[in-house]
Chain A
């Protein structure tokens, strides 16, 4: 029972149309030729498959890191730091062992552990997961910046960390990410634990009635989400960048963009495969637009921002209607 419903596909399409329409207006107002900009955007954004897939990989995984917890009712804004710890542990393990498999496993575990920690603070200490996650994002950002610039700097290239040794570099990372998405899809829709997560997310009181704990599902979903982001970080350094630069520009922002990708994919792992590709293309294409037309880099960001907002509007609208409906029917 593949649950990609027509309604949400339609909604996504509508949002995209609105986004590009608004983008066109913005371009015209700023004095750019929209047709030229869009053709550059799409031609170059989706022209280099290899680069596109590499770019999409960590974004697909942070998309999952947002969406799987969202399905169980948790707002995981911590994909960012979960990806950081995955990246740094994978880098270090690869550095010391010279092989990829332990690096992937430990990077994934590190992300999972961090996700679980955030969830545990919410479940057992009632600390809001958004606040914890935002604080941890910055904590880990500076901690890793410290590690790569002070402890594990590359003596030959001053603004980079030690590199992943050649024997630990891997290819085909996008397919690992797709496999992860399909596995998560399977877990959500074909296993008991996935079913329980979905019930807990929409109706915790129904979960309690049925005799399982929505809190446990919060923990599970954050474990799975964190693992995805951790894997994303690991694959990024082992298969794409092979190093982390001291400004962290290679890893910064992927977790945040993942939120948009998750929403664009309507929290459906299969949808997220496509939304990560789409979004990556926009990001790449945006850089080419900048290069070829001299448009500011904010242009692509604006376009992406408009898409996310256009997508969020129907979602927010439904949420609002639900709230209003509940109030109306309360005695």
Chain B
């Protein structure tokens, strides 16, 4: 009997995003079932529905043949569903035992910490999954914290355990440990749903796999019967629409060179592991890859926001590795971040946002010349078709597309030589998307060097003159678009050499 049957699931988010369009997922009892798909395919949404965290717009869910309708995660937990998110839900300043106690209280209000300790020790015995009960959570390595989450779910009597991209935060050794644990749990009869975008992991750990794309299921297959190539094809397959007219590139001199760059993330883990790239005038170099493979750290290191711990960045023959962001911007490097929350200050006016990266242009001996700032903002608004009542309107009152135009436009009016842009059209409507993409191509045609970092494969394919694929902080391959088939891109993005 299937442990999980989700049938005809639709999900429309309140802001109108259709995340799932009739998804059907069947997971057999006692199997490890992979859920594979690119960013935005809807994997997390599907799992949050299974866990009762959000309600489907339409569709039915059955667990072990019985229809369920959860009113919240606690309800799902009572029905034996456990969830391990990428970001943990432990209280960092509590000990492991205190966290477990906290998790069990709602199920059994009379339970004592001592009983929890006994239960936990018994469970550790059974599964071979060891966690230090007395340690404070924040002092534990990520891999161990994840194990605490798993133990927590098991103590809550989870029969079905879903893990959302569990390996994305782990080191390779921790991944091996996790896999060992999962196999152990499978022996205990636990049904596991394993979400990932890494092909190798699918092959290594899952029995069957369901591939999703753009809110739909492409298919469910037995892992043993398909190759990584088949999976890659299923994952990325699409009709590439070339709606944008694009003239052939006219690449000139190399203006920006990155040599063996290594960058750590906030947690101190090496997120960029030796990237080497060359960027020429008049070309768009697209960096394709699934989110969380070092793109943000790379972009921030190139912009000067984050210090690399190894490697060099050369701009117009000059080593700029040790320069901060403001200095690099002044030299002619521009960076548009992947998040409008970072690039814009929502509570401030349009004009105050336009000057954020343009301060040298509108200040004189420390004083802000608001007249100059306002005319610069007018210029941005006019040149980039921003719909806004006035430059003094708060930026948060603009639509996402118009905010994005301000964020991109204020960099372009600076006439930078190197333009680094991350996820430029995320969450935008078609009109704004076309406009921004057109703008990027125009920039290239005027001889600027553009580095486009995007998890949107269509975007990379449409705009790039050369493509580099990033996976786990390394460039898997660089080449002209013709050198990549979709299948090869899918393999590379999934971490398989091709």
Residues of A within 8 A of B (CB): 1, 190-193, 195, 198-199, 202-203, 205-206, 208-212, 331
Contacts and interface: CB of A to CB of B under 8 A. Distances in A.
A191 B359 CA distance: 11
Given A212-B326, A331-B44, A199 B367 contact: no
B341 A205 contact: yes
Nearest to B394: A5
B342 A211 contact: no
A1 B348 CA distance: 13
B357 A210 contact: yes
Contacts of B348: 198-199, 202
A199 B392 contact: no
Interface of B: 44, 303-305, 324-329, 335, 337, 341-348, 352, 355-357, 359, 363, 366-368, 370, 392
A311 B343 CA distance: 31
Contacts of A210: 325-326, 356-357, 359
A81 B305 CA distance: 37
A193 B366 CA distance: 7
Contacts, number: 67
Contacts of A199: 345, 348, 352, 356
B363 A192 contact: yes
Contact of B356 (A190, A191, A206): A206
Contacts of B352: 195, 198-199
Contacts of A195: 352, 355, 359, 368
Nearest to B330: A211
B368 A190 contact: yes
A268 B69 CA distance: 51
A212 B305 CA distance: 9
B361 to A, nearest CB: 12
Given A192-B359, A199-B348, 18 more contacts: A1-B370, A191-B366, A191-B367, A192-B366, A192-B368, A195-B355, A199-B345, A199-B356, A202-B346, A202-B348, A203-B342, A203-B345, A206-B342, A208-B305, A209-B343, A209-B356, A211-B326, A331-B44
A317 B344 CA distance: 23
A202 B367 CA distance: 21
Nearest to B356: A210
Nearest to A209: B342
A71 to B, nearest CB: 12
Contact of B325 (A190, A203, A209, A331): A209
Contact of A206 (B304, B345, B370): B345
Nearest to A202: B347
A211 B327 contact: yes
Contacts of A203: 341-342, 345-347
Nearest to B347: A202
A1 B392 contact: yes
A140 B42 CA distance: 59
Nearest to A212: B326
A202 B341 CA distance: 11
A181 to B, nearest CB: 19
Contacts of A1: 370, 392
A199 B335 CA distance: 18
Of A202, A208, A209, A331, most B-chain CB atoms within 10 Å: A209
B222 to A, nearest CB: 31
Contacts of A208: 305, 325
Contacts of A331: 44
A205 B305 CA distance: 10
A212 to B, nearest CB: 6
A56 B463 CA distance: 63
A87 B129 CA distance: 63
Contacts of A192: 359, 363, 366-368
Contacts of B347: 202-203
A199 B395 CA distance: 14
B368 A206 contact: no
A198 B329 CA distance: 21
Nearest to B48: A331
Contacts of B305: 208-209, 211
B370 to A, nearest CB: 6
A21 to B, nearest CB: 30
Contacts of B370: 1, 190
Contacts of B343: 206, 209
8 contacts: A190-B368, A191-B368, A192-B367, A195-B368, A203-B347, A206-B342, A210-B357, A331-B44
A209 B334 CA distance: 11
A46 B279 CA distance: 70
Nearest to A199: B345
Contacts of A205: 341-342
A251 B60 CA distance: 69
Contacts of B345: 199, 202-203, 206
Contacts of B304: 211
B345 to A, nearest CB: 5
Contacts of A190: 367-368, 370
Contacts of B346: 202-203
Nearest to A205: B342
A215 B325 CA distance: 15
A209 B410 CA distance: 14
Nearest to A189: B368
Contacts of A193: 366
B257 to A, nearest CB: 21
Of B325, B343, B345, most A-chain CB atoms within 10 Å: B345
A205 B324 CA distance: 15
Contacts of A212: 326
Of A193, A195, A206, most B-chain CB atoms within 10 Å: A206
